[in-house]
Structure 1
Amino acid sequence: PGTCGRGDSVAFIGCGGFGDAAIAGARLAGAAKIIAVDIDDRKLETAKKMGATHTVNSRSTDPVEAIRALTDGNGADVVIEAVGRPETYQQAFYARDLAGTVVLVGVPTPDMKLELPLLDVFGRGGSLKSSWYGDCLPSRDFPMLVDLHQQGRLDLAAFVTETIGLGDIEQAFARMHDGDVLRSVVVF
């Protein structure tokens, strides 16, 4: 979402459809370290295919400690939270470099609350932001994405797990909920 540059370290908490798209974007932007964090090893394998240089299963490993260890103790320059839960946002906050950026792209429910010591927010500096639809401007970004695809630098087919008919939508939602697919595309 417009915050990753060449040589940066970037961590992604949540490797579903958006997380993997952002991982591919970080690779294209020239990030040096791309750290994928998820609780599902299948999603972490997909993240590697999309360009992750490191993976962390947060079911068995503390993601904050792992991200810090992979960034020489500093934390990542950019941490993208693609889950939308207070716990994972807090992990993102503490896993970023002091001057780094946390980007919230996971959509929380209206009842969710975040509790952070205000002194930590002040003392850690950096930037906290949210991103709607990757801050995309279709008239500018879609032609660029098409060009990248035509150049062979962006494999759009990698984002499609399956093509389905209209009658398969309920089963596709069930597979998505179970983490079995990255993206189902309805074909008419």
Structure 2
Amino acid sequence: MPAAVISSYDPAWPARAERLLTEVRTALASLPGSERFVHEHIGSTAVPGLGAKPIVDLQVRMPVLPPLAELAEALAPTPFVPAHGSRPDSPGVHRDAGRPGDQAEPDAYEKRLFHIPAGSAILHVRRTDSPFARFVVDFRDWLRAHPEETRRYEQVKRRLADEHAGASDYDDYTRAKTAFFDEVQPRLREWSVRRAAGS
């Protein structure tokens, strides 16, 4: 996995994400309860105008996570295969880290991670009640609603990408972005609560 390289926003990213989500939705339709799955384009490529690694992030939320082998079999018609991370401690491969203020049982952070080996897309499969699944959607929507924060986040990402340019992977880059998440989280949570209340 190469070091992080931030590209200018590409208007083709949402269309690519939708095509892949259609493939994933079709493949997972054979699983019990698939009508309750939520399929989403997340991450920086889902925020108009935001520079990002040119890798589309997708998310599927489902009430119960099937075993990895069962999911891999269902996704076999798609280009996605299980991802194992660059290192044994690569973040976000088998589970997500809790965010400050989260109140959830540890099992809620369990996940399944898939990718396209060519490096063009990542698929995160999380439980419906995963606080991190909710966080990534709220963060995406908050950035969409706050262009000034989108610009600031891109500056942070470009700085971190430069700092970690010599790395053989972008695990440390991923971890370093947590400082930005921690900084904005109080405002993000307040905005999310207001939005849910319709105010």
Give TM-score, length-normalised by structure 2. 0.27
State the structure with bigger RCO (CA 8 A, min sep 6), 1 or 2: 2
TM-score normalized by the length of structure 1? 0.28
